[in-house]
Amino acid sequence: MARFSSEQLHTFAAVLTEGTLDAAARSLNITPSAVSQRLKALEQASGRVLLQRSNPVQATESGHVVLRLARQLAQLEADAELELGLPGESPMVSVPIVVNADSLSVWFLKALTRVPAELNAVFDLHRDDEQYSTSMLRAGTVMAAVTATPEPVQGCRVEPLGSMRYRAVTTPEFRARWLPDGVDVASLRAAPAVDFDRKDEYQHRFLELLGGAGRGMEPAGPRHYVPSSQEFAEAIRLGLGWGLLPEPQCGRDIADGYLVELAPERPLDVPLYWQRWRTSSRILDAVTEAVRSTAAEVLRRPDSAAPA
């Protein structure tokens, strides 16, 4: 929109990325007063309040619309510079992406190493549960997401990546103590379990697989909350409780006898999808191809590979 200048939009995005006006001023190499003036001019031009002056600052509902515009403008400028053969004269281009913790731990970083260096991309990764990550796409905070949501967010396209297979595991010692008479819903509900955080429903979903959906399937025993993928796996390996681990993360420990499966015939498969802005972009195309090829090596094959 002509009423918004490129300078104002870049400043607005920098403020939300950095969290404060002072931090944005440092990143842009301008004064905080200049940042404040640009934001004021942007809000006057839009006729809306765009920022909540909290710490860190947050976008209002209208601000999310402007942030999405600012991100898209930065992406288009970066693509134009690449087409013109000017990457050496340009700063690195930040590509914000939201990824679930297990994908980030197991395979996603490998995908990013496959993005050609000449694209001058750096990655601003956000971590959120795959059931909730599309909210960042709607807000304009990120350009792409690994998500469990197959329905495309407005302005985005989606394609299946495959399924992450999870195994319910614990240590032999834990099983001998807490599950001496075998694995069933009642004994698992009473035994200590490990959850990633309070959004984590995988242990609950496994109990539904084991005993059927309905009341009484939720875990009822002591809960350990360990909000880090590597430490979550380590908590299970150390015998703090039982839990669901990605197959690539626990397969060797199962084979070596350090972990035992609670129900080998009942794995939990979680379909994952790649959602990205529909706008044509050389950088996003390259990231998409890297994500697609790496996911094909790690995840179980999706039912369909055609993007929506």
Q: Please state, in angstroms and as integers, the Cα–Cα distance from residue 129 to each residue in 72, 169, 268, 302, following that order.
A: 24, 21, 16, 20
Task: Please determine, for residue 264, whether its predicted confidence score (pLDDT) is greater than 90.
Answer: yes
For residue 214, pLDDT beyond 80: no
Q: Which pLDDT belongs to residue 308?
A: 55
The total of other beta-carbon atoms located within 10 Å of residue 214's CB is 7
DSSP 156: E
**Start-to-end C-alpha separation, the chain:** 28
Cα angle 103-169-174, degrees, rounded to a multiple of 5: 140
- Looking at 88-97, 143-152, 243-252, which range is the least confident one? 88-97
Mean pLDDT, rounded, for 80-91: 65
Q: What is the DSSP letter of 227?
A: -
Residue 307 amino acid letter: P
**What is the percent of the chain where pLDDT is above 90?**
50
Tokens describing residue 102: 């297990």
Would the CA dihedral through 73, 63, 93, 119 be positive or negative? negative
* CA dihedral over 262, 161, 131, 113, signed as positive or negative: positive
* pTM greater than the 0.75 cutoff: yes
